Amino acid sequence: MLPDVKVHPDHPTFTVVAIHDLRFRQPWLLACPLRLSGKAFRGLYRDRWPAEQLPMAGKQMLGGARQFVFAPESCQRLPELNLLAGAIVTYLAATLPAVPTGFWDRNPKPTPGRLRRLLARVHFPKSYSLPERLQEKESAFEHLPKGILGHRRTKQATST
């Protein structure tokens, strides 16, 4: 409860615990709206990494974090596609043999990042002929502004 808030049964409260992990200098502060025991909070801390794997694989490793959309339907679909792509690359990395990153990597781990680096070296469009319906669309775009000018918006004149 914040110090300037009067205690009332209808006001939402939260519990904050400090988890001291020996791998880090500062404790991790976990705020939760539930009243849990210390053992349950520790279990939440230990289980958080597997839950974060799929979004991390989709956003950071596959580039979904650098995509910007504005239409309402696209705002819904982009996170869905990121989670799907993260799930696929995580599954493939776990089931395929681990790829070493160099001669020094004697005990490689099957991670999505290693799989992404391996796939980045493959020239997929040049080594595999695409079907007709997936070919590049012929459209005129030379007249459109490029770079930052393409993102810059101008104010529209209002009618009086």
**Among 87, 141, 135, 96, residue whose Cα is nearest residue 115:** 96
pLDDT along the chain (160 residues), means of 10: 69 79 84 81 73 78 78 84 86 88 86 84 68 71 80 66
pLDDT reported for residue 42: 76
Tokens at 122, concatenated? 């493959």
Give the Cα separation of 80 and 151 in Å (integer). Answer: 25
Q: Which two tokens stand for residue 81?
A: 């596609």
State residue 111's pLDDT score.
85
Domain ranges in the chain are 15-122
